[in-house]
Amino acid sequence: TTLMCNTFLNNILDNKKPVYVSLEMTKEELMAKIMSIYSNIPVRKIENPNLMNNEEVELLLNKMKELHKNEFYIVDSNSLNVSKLYRILKKYTLKGSEICYVDYMQLLKTEDNQIPSETGQFRKVFKSLREAIRSVNRESKIALVLAVQSGRSVESRPLHKRIPTMGDIEWSSSIEQDAGLVIGIMNREKYEHDKCKYKDTLFVEVSKNRFGKTSKFTLSYFGDIQHITSYKGPYGNNCDE
């Protein structure tokens, strides 16, 4: 979610008129994260304004006014199926949106409004989603970015091999066939806590890239302000230990 919020903000500033469809977090929670990234004010303060000083309040208000000069759309729903998502895509492509984020895939419901729990149900949902995006893109073009949670099996591997890949998702073949780009992200601090020497670091693997080469790299992650940027630490791309 945090990486998607960072790229969503970049899309806003680039005038892509992006859409963020959240199936888990509320619009208010997402805006707190986005404004934390944009203002460099810790997200905990934005969520609890009493913690902010006068300078931070003024900065936040100015940044909000600045951001809202651009067009962007956030849709939060805990009962979204592919038919409803199709209508959302159709609506916002007509407004000129170039990219849509869905956070996250496993919470998209079946057509009878059930959360899928079996591989066959996930594949059916993704097949419907594939048909929906193709239908929308016959008339206009919009990129679709899906967040997907990996399975528990990833946690049984050595730490340096825990960057999720397509094989960590039971119904991965359904996504891999159509995806232009597949990216796995791992934060070692999640597992090692205070013992982790890779502080403020995300390890990333591009396991599929229809537009270029696959690769591994690192990003710097500043959790208090939700900001992800080019790596600024001492270890380069080395997480193989």
The model's pLDDT over 79-102, given as tens digits with 9 standing for 90+, comes to 888 888 888 988 999 899 999 999
What does the pLDDT read at residue 57? Answer: 96
Residue 201: the pLDDT is 85
pLDDT tens digits along 29-53: 999 999 999 999 999 999 999 999 9
What Cα–Cα distance (Å) separates residue 198 from each residue in 82, 189, 190, 228?
Answer: 39, 7, 11, 15
Instruction: Report the SS3 class of residue 100.
Output: strand
Distance CA 71, CA 193 (A): 39
Distance in angstroms (rounded) separating the CA atoms of residues 20 and 73: 6
Amino acid 8: pLDDT: 96
pLDDT at 162: 75
Other beta carbons within 10 Å of 207: 18
Measured CA to CA, the distance from residue 162 to residue 166 in angstroms comes to 12
Looking only at Cα atoms, what is the longest distance across the chain? 54
- Bridge-based pairing of strands 73-76 and 19-22 is parallel
Confidence tier at 235 by pLDDT (50, 70, 90)? low
pLDDT of residue 81: 86
The mean pLDDT of the chain is 84
Higher pLDDT, 231 or 233: 231
Instruction: Please tell me the predicted confidence (pLDDT) of residue 43.
Output: 95
pTM here is 0.86
* Residues 116 and 109: beta-carbon distance below 8 Å: yes
Higher pLDDT, 57 or 86: 57
**Given a cut of 60, is residue 172 above it in pLDDT?**
no
CA distance 31 to 26: 9
In 3D space, the residue among 114, 113, 74 whose CA is nearest the CA of residue 92 turns out to be 74
pLDDT of amino acid 82: 84
Contact between 88 and 21 under an 8 Å Cβ cutoff? The reply is: yes
Per-residue pLDDT at 229 exceeds 80: yes
